[in-house]
Amino acid sequence: MSKKNNYIAAENRYKKMKYRRTGNSGLLLPEISLGLWHNFGDVNDFKNSRKLLKCAFDNGITHFDLANNYGPPPGTAEKNFGKILKKDFLSYRDELIISTKAGYKMWEGPYGDWGSKKYLVSSLDQSLQRMNLDYVDIFYHHRPDYDTPLEETMGTLDLMVKQGKALYVGLSNYQPKEAEKAFKILKDLGTPCFIHQPRYSLFDRWVENGLLDLLGNSGVGAICFSPLAQGMLTNKYLKDLPEDSRAVKDSPFLNTEKVMEMLPKITALNEIAKSRNQNLAQMAISWILKDDRITSVLIGASKNEQILDCIKAIENTTFTDNDLAEINKITDS
């Protein structure tokens, strides 16, 4: 395909990133992937969104992760991504892994939420239209739906692959028991689950209670979101509370009270990071990547510098037993 866009990617981009096999599949994902949960909606600066994607790809990040409801308003992250794809990345489409999801409320009425066949088919069709794509590389069910038969939801994921609208399917936010049942259904249908996307960080380790073992034993990859605990595992709050931070703005996911409660742990973990010649964010990402059951870590970014800083985490994912013991002592206290 001839280059129709003005953007020319960095020639050495693949030398800047490491890649891991996704479960038992043939596909490699970058150790760092870019999530478009924030900073790509209509409320954001489109030029900056464009810069972020270029910076990521120039540094070997080939995976861009979306969902139908990302924005705000919902749907606008996909719409803006589609515009940037057309402007800058058309000639690189075969070098990109583009994922989207459905499972949270997207439109009014009984067919715009959860896990019915009606909702999932309609949602993916809308996502493809917003991004101007023929297919996505990965289509996820975003959260379990306990009122819809699991066979219906998994059967729809299978259908999307067989219709050519997705290459692979994944789950997000599923607990181990539900995930295990879903894996079996998908395997029997001939479309094995490819990847699971859970929340995971030094401060949120629920996946260690069975999910990581299940993924490892099932040959399913893991890609973790919120690795920095909504910014708590960065240097942002070590000295003061920035006025533009999520904590000060009291976002649905973080508030000042929570930061102040965790500050002693944040400070102690930062000392370990310094002893490793890393900053806190880099150590937090490295700590996740130390586990070979993890395929990739999803980061969010509002500035190019944040992307470049997080990528440095892949340089040192080895921890001594003493490091791990000290980290566990802090996080368990």
Contacts of residue 202, defined as CB under 8 A and 6 or more positions apart, other chains included, come to 229, 233, 269, 284, 287, 327, 331
Q: To 10 degrees, what angle do helices 280-289 and 256-275 make?
A: 80
Least confidently predicted of 231-245, 274-288, 292-306: 231-245
Assign 1 a pLDDT band (cuts: 50, 70, 90).
Answer: very low
In a domain, 265, yes or no: no
Residue 5 has pLDDT above 70, yes or no: no
Number of folded domains that form the chain: 1
CA-based end-to-end distance of the chain: 56
Strand, coil or helix: 7: coil
Q: What is the extent of the structural domain holding 170?
A: 16-230+281-316
pLDDT at 333 over 90: no
Q: List pLDDT tens digits, range 114-154.
A: 999 999 999 999 999 999 999 999 999 999 999 999 999 99
Counting residues of the chain whose pLDDT is more than 70, the rounded percentage is 94
Q: Is 64 domain-assigned? A: yes
**Is 255 part of a structural domain of the chain?**
no
pLDDT of residue 285: 98
Mean of the per-residue pLDDT values of the chain = 94
The strand pairing partners of 30, in sequence order, are 19
238-244 average pLDDT score = 66
If you write DSSP's letter for every residue of 11-59 in order, what string do you get?
TTGGGS--EEE-TTSS-EEESEEEE-SSS-STTS-HHHHHHHHHHHHHT
Model pLDDT for residues 13-44, shown as the tens digit of each residue = 999 999 999 999 999 999 999 999 999 999 99
pLDDT at 238: 87
Q: Measured between alpha carbons, how far is residue 169 from residues 141, 218, 296 in Å?
A: 8, 15, 16
In sequence order, what are the residues at sequence separation of 6 or more whose Cβ sits closer than 8 angstroms to the Cβ of residue 71? 40, 41, 42, 43, 77
| Alpha carbon 6 to chain centroid, angstroms | 28
Judge whether 330 lies within some domain.
Answer: no
The domain that contains 193 carries what CATH number? 3.20.20.100
8 belongs to a structural domain: no
pLDDT of amino acid 258: 84
Q: What's residue 250's pLDDT?
A: 55
In a domain, 147, yes or no: yes
Instruction: Mark 193-229 as b/e (b = at least 16 C-beta within 10 Å).
Output: bbbbbbbbbbbeeebeeebbebbbebbbbbbbbbbbb
Structural domain includes residue 237: no
- Apex 256 CA angle, 76 and 73, nearest 5: 10
Reported as a pLDDT band with limits 50, 70 and 90, residue 172 is very high
**127 CB contacts (<8 Å, ≥6 apart)?**
66, 68, 78, 100, 102, 136
Please give the pLDDT value at position 6.
84
Residue 168 phi, psi (nearest 5): -135, 160
Q: Residue 270 falls within a domain, yes or no?
A: no
Query: Which pLDDT value is given to residue 259?
Result: 87
β-pairing, 97-102 with 32-35?
unpaired
Non-local (6+) Cβ contacts of 107 within 8 A are none
Is there a contact between 100 and 139 (Cβ–Cβ < 8 Å)?
A: yes
How many helices (H) and strands (E) the chain has is answered by: 11, 10
Query: pLDDT at residue 282 above 90?
Result: yes
Task: List, for residues 189-204, the tens digit of each pLDDT value.
Answer: 999 999 999 999 999 9
